[in-house]
Amino acid sequence: MKIVIIGVGLIGGSFAKDVKRLHPEAEIIGVDKSESHLDEALQLRIIDKKGGYTDLQTADMVFVGIPVDVLMAELPKILDASGEETVVMDAGSTKQSICEQVADHPKRRNFMACHPIAGTEFSGPTAAFEGLYTGKTMIICEVEKTAFKLQERALAIFQKIGMRIRYMNPRAHDKHIAYVSHLSHISSFMLGKTVIDKERNERDIFDMAGSGFESTVRLAKSSPDMWTPIFEQNKDNVVETLEEYIQNLITFKQLILDNDFKNVHQEMSNTNKIKQILKGIPLTKK
């Protein structure tokens, strides 16, 4: 099996590690604009060798883990260079624009639009680790537009890794992911900004920040190079979620100003239901 990883950072590198664990005989070829990333990936044995788009013609599988703005420009070229029996998968956090970009491509049947709901706040080859995807959800959009035998090849890998498969249309994906992923990153970035702007003494932040603050701003350590294009591509949905979030903050602030701590308690109590949702426990019995 010959697999090309385009973008050998956290996402692409972790996928390579999982594939190598399952298929030790697989040849993993790395493609990245950063030569230092490729050198690190080789040293860490994430990839077997460096390569280029010429390797796509004979690849069984291509996994693309690059920022979504770069992906928009590169995906048509990747499909152009891919062989007739090559399945190309992306890991972009937005799907509608990407699917529209290759809707009329002659090799659309070779492309599977994917979004693994997995990651950390770290980036680069050194952030990659085996098991990142185990137990996580792989969202697949427009699966019917991918050739069936190529679908099967990709799905077999995902299932062996231990991923759950969820099918969505691109528009629904982008709307829902704005709430459960994009908004949380914006909240984390802006909380970090608020504290940095207000608490000028860095030592005070270090000494007084508890585990709650640290976990809440964890995502603020994420790469702006990756997240700025995501917010740009999903602008309408992101703005809609922000408007709702801001309104909730305004309402909560007013309750405090009004000394209405009974309803402050009620708002927090109602939100505690998120614990059940995240554990997959239905809120009401059917």
User: Could you report the per-residue pLDDT of 50-73, keeping only the tens digit for each?
Assistant: 999 999 999 999 999 999 999 999
pLDDT band at 207 (very low <50, low <70, confident <90, very high): low
- Ordered by where they begin, the domains of the chain are 2-169 (3.40.50.720), 172-278 (1.10.3660.10)
Q: Is 95 helix (H, G, I), strand (E, B) or coil?
A: coil
- Quote the pLDDT of residue 248: 93
Cβ atoms of residues 30 and 47 within 8 Å: yes
Region 209-222: mean pLDDT is: 75
The answer to whether 99 and 71 are in contact (CB under 8 A) is no
Contact at 8 Å (CB) between 17 and 42? Answer: no
Burial degree of 60 (CB within 10 A; 0-12, 13-18, 19+): middle
pLDDT digits (tens, 9 = 90+) for 258-275: 999 999 999 999 888 877
Mean pLDDT for the chain? 92
Cα separation, 197 vs 192, in Å, equals 9
Record the tokens describing residue 36, joined without a space.
Answer: 């230092």
Provide CB contacts within 8 A for 177, sequence distance 6+. 93, 94, 115, 234, 237
